[in-house]
């Protein structure tokens, strides 16, 4: 049994914020959102950058002061709930325990920090960038590698603040080790080096990718054991799945075999995220038999993707942030009507990339998102 730090005391407002989130989550409006069936539309936020701008705080305090973080996490849920009545995304009665999207980089030996606005800064000087030698990498340990001591303490601190009133979910949406291996390999070795290695020393890249996935699975074995869990299908991401920055043959030869290992270990991969052009490798992605949906990113052609992906496969269509923040209402409507017509008869979710306000532009930011959600609601059905 884990012990929590009883010296941590929440702010006075914490209890009231918990009450408000629990009430919203239990509301009739939220129950209707939870009961919604596809197709539907939701907007994404660029976290934590959007929150630092909207609420005016330093991301480094956010990721170091557990009481401040806990209250902010609740305020953020309420901000979304109260400003966007046409939002299709339900409010959840949980507090996500996270320190940002990049913890696995620290597990394999890279440093990660944040600017005050929350922009991640990942070190580019790992020894592997200078010499292709796997002996420069240290085995990953669940409790001691990288940020793991910090993450486990962070989780326990948030549990103490919650005091059992609201569940705390450790990396609720992405998991601590979200990346599939390609992103980590490129950051460890450097993009230019990887391109040369594929030609001059392909076995090294095979060995590096295999090492990363072996460490990932080993880490997850310890993770499941620590929390008393059983292996389950996972959602993974590699933003370097982006043609032409990598080639389809590179993906097929070096990446896909490792994804199949991840699939076997976890018993499935639910979906794969990348911000890049995935169209030329969609046929390879479909070799992952356990996929529950396929993403069509803003950089992936919709019509070609629909031709490549079987009609039986659920889709997640992601729009570029500019399609919300810098588009007119008429342009938003035309785009969504085109998508609805193209995807008729398919199961799909329409989402946006992470939306970030310009500094000092909170009102315009809110208005743009409200316009987008109203139009989406009118086209895809409110159900409210």
**Residue 5 — very low, low, confident or very high, per pLDDT cuts 50/70/90?**
low
Cα dihedral sign for 72, 74, 77, 80? negative
Give yes or no for residue 343 having a pLDDT over 70: yes
Q: How many residues does the chain have?
A: 384
Looking at residue 6, its pLDDT comes to 46
| pLDDT at site 57 | 97
**Confidence band, pLDDT 50/70/90 cuts, at residue 381:** confident
Whether residue 148 is predicted with pLDDT greater than 50 in this model: the reply is yes
Q: Map residue 330 onto helix, strand or coil.
A: helix
pLDDT of 35? 87
Percent above pLDDT 90 for the chain: 91
3-state DSSP assignment of residue 348:
strand
Cα 248 from chain centroid (whole Å): 24
CA distance 232 to 1: 23
- For the cut 80, the answer to whether the pLDDT of residue 340 exceeds it is yes
- Mean pLDDT, the chain, rounded, equals 94
d(C-alpha 127, C-alpha 99), whole Å = 25
Across the range 150-176, mean pLDDT stands at: 96
Q: Provide the H-helix boundaries in the chain.
A: 12-25, 28-34, 49-55, 59-62, 66-83, 103-107, 148-162, 182-189, 191-200, 202-227, 248-250, 256-266, 282-285, 302-308, 322-325, 329-342, 362-380
Residue 91 has pLDDT above 90, yes or no: yes
What pLDDT shows up at residue 1? 41
pLDDT at 38 exceeding the cut of 90 = no
Residue 357 pLDDT more than 80?
yes
Over residues 77-99, the mean pLDDT reads 96
Could you give the CA distance from residue 300 to residue 309 in angstroms, rounded to a whole number? 12
With cut-offs at 50, 70 and 90, classify the pLDDT of residue 359: confident
The yes-or-no verdict on residue 365 having pLDDT over 70 is yes
Average pLDDT for 141-164:
97
Q: Is 4's pLDDT higher than 80?
A: no
pLDDT tens readout for residues 275-321: 999 999 999 999 999 999 999 999 999 999 999 999 999 999 999 99
Is residue 266 within 8 Å of residue 231, measured between CB atoms? yes
Tell me the C-alpha distance between 98 and 103, whole Å.
9
Give the pTM: 0.93
Q: What integer pLDDT is reported at residue 335 of this predicted model? A: 98
């Amino acid at each position: 049994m884990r012990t929590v730090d009883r010296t941590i005391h929440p702010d006075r407002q914490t209890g009231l914020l918990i009450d408000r989130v629990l009430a919203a989550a239990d509301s009739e409006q939220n129950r209707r959102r939870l009961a919604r069936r596809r197709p539907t539309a939701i907007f994404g936020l660029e976290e934590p950058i959007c929150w630092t701008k909207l609420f005016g705080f330093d991301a480094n305090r956010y990721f170091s002061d557990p009481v401040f973080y806990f209250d902010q996490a609740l305020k953020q849920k309420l901000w979304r709930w109260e400003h966007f009545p046409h939002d299709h995304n339900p409010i959840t009665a949980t507090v996500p325990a996270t320190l940002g999207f990049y913890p696995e980089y620290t597990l394999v030996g890279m440093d990660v920090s944040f600017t005050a606005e929350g922009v991640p800064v990942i070190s580019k000087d790992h020894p592997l960038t200078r010499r292709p030698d796997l002996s420069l990498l240290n085995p990953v340990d669940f409790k001691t590698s990288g940020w793991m001591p910090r993450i486990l303490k962070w989780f326990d601190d948030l549990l103490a603040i919650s005091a059992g009133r609201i569940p705390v979910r450790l990396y609720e949406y992405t998991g601590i080790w979200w990346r599939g291996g390609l992103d980590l390999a490129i950051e460890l070795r450097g993009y230019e080096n990887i391109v040369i290695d594929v030609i001059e020393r392909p076995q090294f890249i095979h060995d590096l990718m295999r090492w990363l996935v072996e460490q990932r699975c080993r880490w997850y074995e310890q993770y499941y054991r620590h929390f008393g869990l059983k292996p389950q299908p996972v959602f993974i991401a590699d933003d370097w799945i982006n043609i032409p920055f990598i080639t389809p043959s590179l993906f097929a030869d070096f990446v896909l075999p490792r994804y199949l290992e991840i699939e076997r270990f976890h018993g499935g991969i639910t979906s794969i995220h990348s911000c890049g052009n995935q169209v030329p490798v969609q046929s390879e992605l479909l070799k992952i038999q356990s996929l529950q949906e396929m993403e069509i990113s803003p950089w992936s052609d919709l019509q070609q993707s629909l031709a490549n992906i079987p009609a039986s496969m659920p889709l997640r269509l992601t729009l570029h942030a500019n399609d919300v923040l810098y588009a007119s209402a008429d342009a938003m409507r035309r785009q969504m009507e085109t998508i609805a017509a193209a995807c008729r008869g398919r199961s799909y979710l329409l989402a946006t990339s992470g939306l970030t306000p310009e500094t000092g532009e909170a009102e315009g930011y809110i208005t743009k998102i409200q316009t987008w959600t109203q139009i989406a609601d009118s086209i895809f059905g409110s159900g409210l």
